[in-house]
Structure formats: C-alpha cells, structure tokens
Amino acid sequence: MIHAQHEEYGDNPFSQYLIQEGITPGDFAVLANVDHNKVYEVMHGRVRVLPESFADAVTERSGPGAGDKMREVYEYYRENLRDALQKAAR
C-alpha cells in the first residue's frame, strides 16, 4: 500500500527511506515539523539540499549518523538527476 503511493518517485533515496520505514509523507511531515507539501517537494527531487529538519528527523528515528548519510545520498541523487536532465535537453 505505501509502496504503491511512492512508486512514482523512482530512485529518490528519501522516498526509498519512507518506503523502507513504512512512513507516509504526512507522518514524516509531523516528524520533521514541516508542511506535508515540503515532503512532496523533496520526494519529487525539487529541493536541492535535504532540509536540516528532515535530516534531524531521520537521525531521531534511525539513529546517529543516519540523517547525515541521507543528506549525502540525496545530494548525490540530485546531482545525477541534474546530469540526466541536462543530457535529455541536448
């Protein structure tokens, strides 16, 4: 059920984290103390850097270092997404 909700977000590591943990975007918004629209922006890759509150929520739920790792892999994902979009435009 949750997996089907997130399928459209592809290989976004943040979306994969939500699926793995069984967290809905609305529930994560509560954990990170943000509006649910911000969660969807990150899931769609529209945010350049994973917000600090997201990293903090991941660390709080998954343990020390987890939020920093998520920021790192999300940044890598965004770089790859940008490269793919630039290549598609040529």
Q: What is the pLDDT of residues 66-83, one digit of tens each?
A: 999 999 999 999 999 889
Does residue 6 carry a pLDDT above 50? no
Tens digit of each residue's pLDDT (9 = 90 or more) over 36-70:
999 999 999 999 999 999 999 999 999 999 999 99
**Tally of domains within the chain:** 1
Tell me the CATH number at 29.
1.10.260
User: Does the pLDDT of residue 89 top 80, yes or no?
Assistant: no
Statement: residue 3 has pLDDT above 60: no
- Domain span at residue 28 reads 2-89
Could you tell me the pTM of the whole model? 0.85
The Cα 64–Cα 76 span in angstroms is 20
SS3 sequence of 43-88: HCCCCCCCCHHHHHHHHHHHCCCHHHHHHHHHHHHHHHHHHHHHHH
37: Cβ contacts below 8 Å, ≥ 6 apart: none
Cα–Cα distances (Å) from 69 to 14, 20, 53, 63, in that order, read: 11, 15, 14, 11
